[in-house]
Chains A and B, each alone.
Chain A
Amino acid sequence: MKVAELLKKRRQNWYELEQLCGQLEDRRRRAIGAATISRFAQLYRAACADLALADAYQIPPNTVQYLHRLVGRAHNQLYRSREFNTGSWAKMLLLDVPQRIFNDRCVQLTFAMFWGAFILSAALAVSSTVWPDFAEQVLSAEQISQLEDNFSDPIQGRNATYNPVMASFYIQRNTSIGLQCFAGGLLVIPGLLMTLFNAVHLGASFGYMARPDVPEGENFFHFVTAHGPFELTAIVLSAGAGLRLGFSWIYSQGLERFASLRKTAYETMPLMGAAMVMFFLAALIEGFLSPSAVPYPVKAAVAVISSGLLTGYFVLLGFPQQGP
């Protein structure tokens, strides 16, 4: 059989396959119908066979290229993207993530680094002798006056309609910071810089507010106590996950660098998920409980309980389990 004749015969099939591809791209799968889908599969196999035998048939290169595109397009409709495996999320968050965090040197390192920088910065900001204008140098004068403005009034509960707005604002802002620390970790240095910047900045704010001569300090701690544990842990966790990602291609443990990065990316994504859950919880507390007129001991109790929950999560669930 000559090529001209062969092409004439096959062209009908190819056009039909092309039309079906178009239909599958535009409509939902259920609307297509089983008969069409099996016809599609049949045509796809036929096109695959034509492509495989293209060389033996002496099909012109241009047509071969057409076939490559056609088979590729049909392939993408036959094998479609898999969506989220939501069923495994609970197991992932409650079993895999704490186990991984417990043993993760990067999270531990980030934890030490973040809190080290935080405490050092806070100490420098409080002290009026060691480095008197440390807080003024880290936080600009505008930021300090804004901070003082924000906490000039005692926390007596605000108009409740603002709560959902503020809660979603905190979700947006804090989770974005967390995701930035995570993504920046891939290149190690930006991640470290962002984490240290946040630690020093937050530490300076806390330290400045803790100064005995700053009257707004009391209101400030009244506000931040309740949501602090979740929020700060979430930042440390996302930065640690990012750092793990960055180290995976530097210290590849015998794998190819890209393969090591790929493997680690799959492992750290759930960590980032856990951090995002913590950011959400923190934002809800920050939006609804922190600005309310609830007395300070209750807020402190919330902080203690959430710290306890986090410890339980990391240590009890994370402690290496024996057995299978």
Chain B
Amino acid sequence: MSHNDNQLDCSIEIVTPENISFRYQVAGPFRRLPAFLLDYAFRILICLGAAWILGILQSVSGFSGWAMLILLYFVIEWFYGGLFETYWNGQTPGKRVLGIRVLSINGEPINGLQAMMRNILRLVDLMPMVPLTALFGEGVYGWTPIGLVGLLTPVLNSRFQRLGDIASGTMVVIEERHWLYDVVRMDDAEAVELAEKFPPNFQVNRKTSRALSAYMERRKFFTKARQQDIARHLAEPLLSQFNLPRDTNYDRLMCALYYRAFVAEQGE
């Protein structure tokens, strides 16, 4: 990923107290909606589980747990997300499964107040409410949120913040491990041979080396013709610069360059 496609990839740059800047990828609706639905399922499960346990308690000891159940329902309804995000470092179970985390917009962790705020204001993001009759026809009563506000607001700002996020100064970032690729293995002996024909003082500059490694990581997904097509722009000037035969395979030349830039010891 090069520097100029930050905007394409929705990443946010954070400067840490160590004076390092690194990038987070902001989570969009396709991660956050499943996380929300999972959390919703967990909420129902918690309430059902509590009802079941209290039911057993009642049948065993005659202790009526209705009051506790209603209070639990109230707490789960309004403070489930807030409490989890406070004590679980910005994650709820659903967010954890989807690998996302809530952070302050300056990259700091959130505090309890922010967590509560953004979860209470979710009500607004779930608006507008639509009567079920409009969706399922006559005879079905009740209202359902359709969440248009929460879907449209994130589109209008660079951090994908819904209204609750904007008010509490938070954002949701993707946090998962990225696969670490090794340097691309070179099993092409001819490319290594070709690399030795380069002038010894030839240095690959930064921009070229970035392009080279991007090419090498993806070349196995291209057809032979496409490889030639892409490599030509760099290969043709280099061939004339190095006085190499015109009919050298462009792709092999790229491999040789890569070998020279990333693998081979210099000055041998």
Contacts and interface: CB of A to CB of B under 8 A. Distances in A.
**A and B: real partners?**
yes
B158 to A, nearest CB: 11
A158 interface: no
Nearest to B16: A75
Contacts of A272: 120
Contacts of B87: 81, 83
Interface stretch (A118-126, A138-146, A172-180): A172-180
A261 interface: yes
B107 A168 contact: no
Given A61-B214, A73-B177, A48 B16 contact: yes
Contact of A66 (B169, B179, B262): B179
Interface in A1-39: 2-4, 7, 11, 14, 18
Contacts of A258: 157, 166
A93 interface: no
A165 interface: yes
B65 to A, nearest CB: 9
A200 interface: no
Given A81-B86, A84-B86, A176-B74, A161 B123 contact: no
Interface stretch (A102-110, A221-229, A262-270, A304-312): A262-270
Contact of A176 (B78, B217, B261): B78
Contacts of B24: 68, 72
Interface stretch (A183-191, A203-211, A294-302, A314-322): A183-191
Contacts of A186: 121, 124, 163, 167
A161 B73 CA distance: 20
B43 to A, nearest CB: 14
Interface of B: 1-2, 14, 16, 18, 20, 22-24, 64, 66-68, 70-71, 73-74, 77-78, 85-90, 101, 103, 107-113, 115-117, 120-124, 127, 149, 157, 163, 166-169, 173, 175-183, 204, 206, 209-210, 213-214, 217, 261-266
Interface of A: 2-4, 7, 11, 14, 18, 45, 48-49, 51-52, 55, 58, 60-73, 75-77, 79-85, 161, 164-165, 167-169, 171-172, 175-176, 179-180, 182-184, 186-187, 190, 245, 258, 261-262, 265-266, 269, 272
A81 B74 contact: no
Given A81-B115, A82-B112, A172-B77, 9 more contacts: A58-B209, A63-B181, A68-B22, A69-B175, A72-B23, A168-B70, A176-B78, A182-B120, A183-B123
B90 to A, nearest CB: 5
B20 A190 contact: no
A184 B123 contact: yes
Contacts of A71: 16, 20, 22
A72 B22 contact: yes
Given A168-B67, A172-B70, A81 B166 contact: no
Nearest to A52: B20
A62 B217 contact: yes
B22 A66 contact: no
Contact of B117 (A51, A63, A165, A265): A265
A171 B70 CA distance: 9
Contact of A51 (B1, B22, B88, B112): B22
Given A2-B264, A84-B86, A179-B120, A76 B112 contact: no
A176 B71 CA distance: 12
Contacts of B123: 179-180, 183-184
A75 B14 CA distance: 10
